[in-house]
Amino acid sequence: METIFHPADSRGSADHGWLQAKHSFSFAGWFNPERIQFGALRVLNDDTVQGGMGFGTHPHDNMEIITIPLRGDLEHKDSMGNAEVIREGEIQVMSAGTGVYHSEYNKNADREISLLQLWIFPNQRDVAPRYDQIPIDSLHKKNEPFQILSPNPDDQGVWIHQNAWFHMLDLDAEHATYYDLKLEGNGVYAFVIEGEVEIGEHVLGKRDALGITEIATFEITAHQDTQVLLIEVPMVVD
């Protein structure tokens, strides 16, 4: 097993007043030549947005964009005609494809929203833009990874144009489980949302991350009650 450890405090930061952002990979005004991407995972932003504030209308193309609210509600509007609210306990995906414009705002004026947004390079370019969102609470399993995203429209969770799988893991303290990679040659970026876990020789705390490659399965042991996002992606992007 090969690993690369990204402590929470090694991430890029941006303070816009209304937005507090942490970047796991180079983004906007923060550039680190050693932190461009992890395989097909290009962006992992950990954003806190003040009440009523947000991102005005802006374009995307040829990217799979996934949003997971951790706390609060996000209002989304786009050029495909979607006007939705993505709530805590849901996951949203947008395939930008040939091009789409969208805006994202904190739905609530009286409290902040905390969210993760991830960008994945697609394995098909110039597809028709598409949008989907689903609740993930109903998929929840305790002490084992449960799938929230895959490449397959008929599989559990949302789907994207890439051989990628996302799993959430809600692990009780002193419990252990295994993650089995879905595709040979893929890697996993394990991002700790809350708690503390041990993977291999590494102990990861809140917002720490570990890139894992060259292994088919690995063990995860919780030192505390822990929530982890497991992001499996191809390591080679065409």
Section 133-155 average pLDDT? 95
Q: Are the CB atoms for 199 and 169 separated by under 8 Å?
A: no
Mean pLDDT of the chain: 97
Q: Is the predicted pLDDT of residue 221 greater than 90, yes or no? A: yes
Q: Is the predicted pLDDT of residue 102 greater than 90, yes or no? A: yes
Q: Is the predicted pLDDT of residue 238 greater than 90, yes or no? A: no
Section 78-92 average pLDDT? 96
Residue 34 DSSP label: T
The confidence score (pLDDT) of residue 161 equals: 98
Q: Is the predicted pLDDT of residue 78 greater than 90, yes or no? A: yes
Q: Using alpha carbons, list the distances in angstroms from residue 120 to 83, 151, 177, 220, 235.
A: 23, 12, 26, 24, 12
137 three-class SS: helix
The confidence score (pLDDT) of residue 222 equals: 98
Q: Is the predicted pLDDT of residue 138 greater than 90, yes or no? A: no
164-200 per-position pLDDT tens digit? 999 999 999 999 999 999 999 999 999 999 999 999 9
25-77 per-position pLDDT tens digit? 999 999 999 999 999 999 999 999 999 999 999 999 999 999 999 999 999 99
Q: Are the CB atoms for 103 and 55 separated by under 8 Å?
A: yes
Beta bridge partners of 137: none
Domains of the chain (ranges; CATH) run 11-137 (2.60.120.10), 139-234 (2.60.120.10)
Q: Are the CB atoms for 75 and 129 separated by under 8 Å?
A: no
Q: Which of 38, 169, 161, 21 is nearest to 104 (CA)?
A: 21
Section 126-141 average pLDDT? 95
pTM (2 d.p.): 0.97
